[in-house]
Amino acid sequence: MKKVFSRLYLFIIFIFLYAPIAVLIVLSFNDSRTRAKWGGFTLRWYAAMFRNETIMDALRNTLLIAVLSALIATLLGLTAALSLNRMKQRKRTFVMGIINIPMLNAEIVTGISLMLIFIALGQFLSRWGYMVEFGFGTVLIGHITFNLPYTVLLILPKLRQINTSTYEAALDLGASRFLAFRKVILPDIMSGIVSGFMMAFTLSLDDFVITHFTKGPGFDTLSTKIYTEVRKGIKPEMYALSTLMFVTILLLLLLSGVRGNKEKATVNSSKRRQAV
């Protein structure tokens, strides 16, 4: 009896979590314009979506922003983590605190403040005839800003685990500082770098709030595109688009999950070998 209830409970939780998405996915294949009835299976919304140039534009923007912002945030995060790693405990805790605050900050506050700073910067630069154009550049900077703490957070622990004498051992054996870093430090923190990049990529992919405040007119990513389209009235193409976004992120998550498990497996097996 108890078992039945606990199963039921779990079932209800999954319903709550996934029913909306399931509805979305089902509707994206529905060959009928009304949401109320099932008109048969179709892929035409997907086809329409791929033909829609504004959506394709938004998709290109989204991917470009996601890749670039993840890449730059990972690089910046790596350098930040490297110098944090060399700091004394108290100083490091303090700086880490400062880095973590934007992560906990309400996204809308970050969005508005980014918008304000771009406007202020624009006014400041206008004295010399320059201007800040809201669009690709501002969105990219915004995304790098909110991605950065996550990459630091994922890379730093890997660095902390490294036995510092391995780096010194490499120097001792004749390696230059760069070579020692590349051959000894980098392989050990690669998993952190990769998961930092994936995290940043995923966050950037589905960000709406910050993009909304920094994008300006005429520039859209998928999330802002969906938002504007939906305001005009929901088109089934949007279901298809949302489904695709969901599936993409799900795949990314699965991928990083598999990676994580693999890593654990190798650690375990080496531990076992040691025990033998």
**Which span (59-67, 109-117, 160-168, 228-236) binds other proteins, by CB under 8 A?**
160-168
Cβ neighbour number for residue 187 with a 10 Å cutoff: 9
Instruction: Tell me how far apart the alpha carbons of residues 200 and 147 are, in angstroms, rounded to a whole number.
Output: 5
At its nearest, how many Å lie between other proteins and the CB of residue 195? 17
Residues 254-273 that bind other proteins (CB under 8 A): 270-271, 273
Give the span between the Cα atoms of 69 and 76, in whole angstroms.
Answer: 10
Can you tell me which residue has the tokens 């400041």? 124
The residue among 54 and 270 lying less far from other proteins, judged by its C-beta, is 270
89 near other proteins, rule: CB under 8 A: no
Bridge partners (DSSP) listed for residue 63: none
Binding-site residue total for other proteins (CB under 8 A)? Answer: 22
The footprint of other proteins on residues 55-74 (CB under 8 A) is none
Residue with smaller CB distance to other proteins, 60 or 271: 271
Residues 165-184 that bind other proteins (CB under 8 A): 165-166, 168-176, 179-180, 183-184
Residues 185-204 that bind other proteins (CB under 8 A): 187-188
Among all chains, which residue has been given the structure tokens 């108290």?
A: 90
Question: Computed from CA positions of residues 139, 142, 147, 148, in that sequence, does the dihedral angle turn out positive or negative?
Answer: positive
Instruction: Tell me whether residue 33 or residue 273 sits nearer to other proteins (CB atom).
Output: 273
Site string for other proteins, 217-256 (x = CB under 8 A): ----------------------------------------
Q: Are 209 and 111 in contact (CB under 8 A)?
A: yes
Angle at 181 between CA 177 and CA 183, to 5 degrees: 115
Exposure string for 195-214, b = 16+ CB within 10 A, e = fewer = bbbbbbbbbbbbbebbbbbb
- What is the closest distance, in whole angstroms, from the C-beta atom of residue 167 to other proteins in the complex? 8
- Comparing CB distances to other proteins, the nearer of 80 and 184 is 184
Distance CA 134, CA 34 (A): 37
Rounded to a whole number of angstroms, the minimum distance from the CB of residue 260 to other proteins is 17
Q: Using CB under 8 A as the criterion, which residues of the chain lie in contact with other proteins when the complex forms?
A: 163, 165-166, 168-176, 179-180, 183-184, 187-188, 270-271, 273-274
